[in-house]
């Protein structure tokens, strides 16, 4: 399911009925998704510009419950996805900020940029994360 969402997002193919069906089938099974599967699902839906508030809310709850299972890149992807889908809330972004701050050194430059963009776009203030991202990027050069 996550791979199909990702593929439709990657191709930017409009398929609202299919994505609605995938979301409906995914909701009761999100607890079975891997962290990458959750991130790919959110990314695909966001990139396809598919309105799926219930799915995003359920993914957010899964992420909050399993935050330590995600890689830094998966966390950055989630931040970008939720900001892009206009589903960013402090309830998700505050724990994301703490987790990303602790793992900023694991992010590639694009992940750092995407994270900074996501928090700015979402209007979520995370000054310590912003400073950590800036220092991480500066120290690499």
pLDDT for the residue 140: 79
Q: What is the pLDDT of residue 107?
A: 94
Distance, first Cα to last Cα, the chain? 40
**How is the chain split into domains, by residue range?**
2-140
Residue 116 has pLDDT above 90, yes or no: yes
- The alpha carbon of residue 84 and the mean position of all alpha carbons in its chain are separated, in whole angstroms, by 9
pTM over 0.75? The answer is yes
pLDDT for 63 equals 97
The whole-angstrom separation of Cα 121 and Cα 1 is 28
Q: Give Rg (Cα) of the chain.
A: 15
Helix residue spans in 53-108 (DSSP H): 53-65, 72-84, 90-102
Mean pLDDT to the nearest integer, 121-139: 91
- Evaluate whether 109 touches 137 at the Cβ level (below 8 Å): yes
Q: Is the pLDDT of residue 31 over 90?
A: yes
Q: Which residues contact 44 (CB under 8 A, 6 or more apart)?
A: 2, 4, 5, 6, 7, 8, 9, 10
Tell whether the torsion through CA atoms of 125, 72, 26 and 44 is positive or negative: positive
């Amino acid at each position: 399911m996550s791979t199909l969402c990702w593929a439709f997002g990657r191709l930017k193919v409009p398929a609202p009925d299919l994505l609605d069906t995938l979301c409906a089938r995914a909701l009761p099974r999100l607890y079975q998704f891997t962290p990458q599967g959750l991130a790919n699902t959110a990314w695909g839906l966001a990139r396809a510009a598919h309105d799926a508030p219930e799915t995003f809310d359920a993914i957010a709850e899964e992420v909050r419950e399993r935050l330590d299972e995600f890689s830094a890149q998966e966390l950055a992807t989630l931040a970008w996805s939720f900001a892009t889908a206009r589903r960013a809330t402090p309830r998700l972004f505050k724990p994301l900020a703490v987790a990303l701050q602790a793992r900023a050194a694991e992010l590639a430059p694009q992940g750092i940029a995407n994270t900074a963009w996501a928090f700015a776009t979402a209007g979520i203030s995370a000054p310590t994360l912003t400073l950590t991202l800036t220092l991480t990027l500066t120290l690499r050069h």
